[in-house]
Amino acid sequence: MQNDSDRFFVLTGGPGSGKTTLIEALRAEGCATAPEAGRGIIRDQVAIGGAALPWQDRALFAELMLSWELRSWHAARAEPPGPIFFDRGAPDTIGYLRLCGLLVPDHVTSAARKFRYARRVFVAPPWPEIFTQDEERKQTLDEVERTFRSVTGVYAELDYELVPLPLASVEERVRFVIDQAGLRRT
C-alpha cells in the first residue's frame, strides 16, 4: 500500500445496519479497528451531563464527532502497517450535518477532503430486520434511510467508491469485506 489512507477502510451507513457488529467481528479476526464516534460521545456526554447530544445540541455533537474521527485517523497512522477498519469516518460528519439541516462549516469540509481513507468505502444499507432502538440509538427507520442516503451521498461526492455490504450473516460480511479490500485472511 502506497500511503496510510490506502489501508484505512471505512464502514458507513445508517444506524442499526450492522456496522459495529461487523467491526467487532473484524477485530476478532485480528484486524485493527477504530470505534464509532457517535455512541462514545453520547455515553460520555450523558455521563457528565454534557450538551453535545444529538437530541440537545446537534452542531456541538457534530464538532465532537469530527474531533473524534480526526483523532482516530491520527492514531491509526501510529499503528503498525496493515489494514485498519473505521466505524465511520470524517465525511460522516458532513452527512450528519446535512441530515439535520445544519450549515456545514468550511473546516468540516476541509477535514473530509484532507483526511482521506481507502477509495473503497463499505456501505451498510438499511436492514429493517436487524434494526433496533436503544438508549443511544433513538432514530426511526425513516431516519435510518435518510442517514444512509446522506452519508453515502457525501462519500460519493468525495470520489469514494461505494461497496454495498450484503444483507448476510456476520461471517459472510467479514469474508466479503476481507475479499473486497484485497486482503488475505490470517
Looking at per-residue confidence, does 117 or 141 come out higher? Answer: 117
pLDDT of residue 20: 87
- What CA–CA distance (Å, rounded) separates 123 from 34? 16
- pTM score, two decimals? 0.89
Percentage of the chain with pLDDT > 90? 69
Contact between 44 and 152 under an 8 Å Cβ cutoff? The reply is: no
Q: Is the pLDDT of residue 127 over 80?
A: no
Contact between 120 and 12 under an 8 Å Cβ cutoff? The reply is: no
Q: Is the pLDDT of residue 1 over 60?
A: no
- 2 pLDDT band, cuts 50/70/90, is very low
C-alpha cell at 151: 452519508
Write down the domain spans for the chain. 4-180
Sheet strands side by side (includes 161-164): 32-34, 84-87, 8-13, 120-124, 161-164
Specify the CATH number of the domain 4-180: 3.40.50.300
- 66 pLDDT band, cuts 50/70/90, is very high
Helical ranges in 80-169 per DSSP H: 91-99, 106-114, 141-157
pLDDT in tens, 97-117: 999 999 999 999 999 999 999
pLDDT of residue 97: 97
Three-state SS sequence of 20-86: HHHHHHHHHCCCEEECCHHHHHHHHHHHHCCCCCCCCCHHHHHHHHHHHHHHHHHHHHCCCCCCEEE
pLDDT in tens, 5-19: 899 999 998 877 888
Q: Is the pLDDT of residue 131 over 60?
A: no
